[in-house]
Chain A
């Protein structure tokens, strides 16, 4: 069997379904919006931090692109616009950082785009630009830990591609009474953060985040496609396993 064709098939079906459902939902209807207590936790913590005059920290991960997790860097950037609210800007306590120069540069572009899309330019002066505390996971950790200690971090949100070192960032905030939310994509991050972070999204769950933060029909179409393709893949895996047992494959 040529696996290229299987790849083409999965990508092609997903693309077609995505277009069909996006068009359909734009006209009429929608898909079930799931309830995620972890995302509610993030919302509440962010608001509480704003009200108490504490800082809201967002970490975009260690890498824009990696071979093992190619979509995670891009995903962290796609979440960022949903966190850049006017309240967060105006409070001056929003801090965005990453451990990759390109990731930070793209984040900076997104922040500027938000001003261009209707926010007051005066808010720009109040907000810290995205920061690069270090260009490697270790140097970033060494740079961000003193910052967490110096500033009063009320809520920390972790996104993107990072490993077990996320535990050190989470512990630093949690030990000072701050709230930690983590979208853990990498397997090592999931294992490390499971024991510490209450509000944790793992694996494919992280990809629903932009849609849950601000619901759009495009997001709902994406969820439906994900569910359909996931069910199809599960079915194929079961059939494949059965054929393997029977000696056909």
Chain B
């Protein structure tokens, strides 16, 4: 009975939201209400999820696990940010400076590590995947795209070269669109299966 109720609720809400995209004017009030509820629920779910983060670090701290010191720092940072944000709001200049001068540089350094890892992984590509058409094509495409986007070639005054470069620059876009179309199709089928309760990630089946 509970599962039937859940399936019916999913179907009604899902179809209403879907119909709302096409009959926006007619369904606008209902759609706004449902989307507001959804945002609220997701917000609450996110907040509860943060509880898992706190619980995990507290457990690590109390069990005196290895790396517990880092958990202490994470918890202190969390409590400080939460308290400061609640009392002074995230728009406070100090809070903004804190984000700009701590979080952004830390994230940038992580991106720098990622850039190095990407370069290293690219160098190992042939070793990992072998001399296949796909791996050679991938490497060639990546290098070509890099060279073209470095603006190394000056196409002014040479319409043929300009057209060729525009064509080559368009190829990744076409590939990307192809992948996104496939993804959209896959996503559509997953969505419809959940909507019709053929799949129930929230329960059995």
Residues of A within 8 A of B (CB): 4, 7-8, 10-11, 14-15, 18-19, 22, 64-65, 69-72, 74-75, 77-78, 80-81, 100-106, 108-110, 113, 117, 129-135, 138, 141-143, 146, 150, 164-165, 167-168, 171, 185, 187, 190-192, 194-196, 198, 202-204, 206-207, 210, 218, 221-222, 225-226, 229-230, 233
6 residue pairs, one from A and one from B, having the closest CB atoms = A101-B49, A71-B187, A207-B186, A204-B182, A102-B45, A101-B46
CB–CB A192/B118 < 8 A: yes
Interface stretch among B86-94, B150-158, B163-171, B188-196? B188-196
Within 8 A of A (CB), among B103-159: 106-107, 110, 113-114, 117-118, 121-122, 124-125, 128-129, 138, 142
Which residues does chain A contribute within 8 Å of B66, judged by CB atoms?
150
CB–CB A22/B198 < 8 A: yes
Q: Which residue, of A11, A19, A65, has the highest number of chain B Cβ atoms within 10 A?
A: A11
CB–CB B186/A206 < 8 A: yes
Provide the bound-state CA to CA distance between A202 and B179, in Å: 9
Provide the bound-state CA to CA distance between A191 and B170, in Å: 17
A interface, over-half SS? helix
Q: Which residue, of A65, A100, A105, A106, has the highest number of chain B Cβ atoms within 10 A?
A: A105
A-B interface contact total, Cβ < 8 Å: 181
Q: Given that A135-B50, A230-B185 are contacting pairs, would A195 and B121 also be in contact in the complex, using a CB cutoff of 8 Å? A: yes
Q: Which of A129, A130, A134, A168 contacts B114 (CB 8 A)?
A: A168
Provide the bound-state CA to CA distance between A230 and B187, in Å: 13
Q: Which of A72, A185, A196, A206 contacts B124 (CB 8 A)?
A: A196
Hey, what's the 0/1 contact readout for B42-60 against A, CB within 8 Å counting as 1?
A: 1001111110110010000
Q: Which of A11, A19, A138, A206 contacts B107 (CB 8 A)?
A: A138
Q: Given that A132-B52, A142-B110 are contacting pairs, would A15 and B192 also be in contact in the complex, using a CB cutoff of 8 Å? A: yes
Q: Given that A71-B186, A75-B187, A195-B121 are contacting pairs, would A4 and B176 also be in contact in the complex, using a CB cutoff of 8 Å? A: no
Which residues does chain A contribute within 8 Å of B180, judged by CB atoms?
187
Provide the bound-state CA to CA distance between A222 and B198, in Å: 10
CB–CB A218/B182 < 8 A: no
Does B183 touch A at the CB level, under 8 Å?
Answer: yes
CB–CB A146/B70 < 8 A: yes
Q: Can you name 8 A-B residue pairings with CB atoms under 8 Å? A: A11-B18, A18-B192, A71-B184, A101-B52, A132-B50, A133-B53, A135-B53, A198-B129
Which residues does chain A contribute within 8 Å of B74, judged by CB atoms?
143
Distance in Å from the Cβ of B31 to the closest Cβ of chain A? 15
Does B199 touch A at the CB level, under 8 Å?
Answer: yes
Q: Which residue, of B49, B128, B182, has the highest number of chain A Cβ atoms within 10 A?
A: B49
CB–CB B114/A78 < 8 A: no
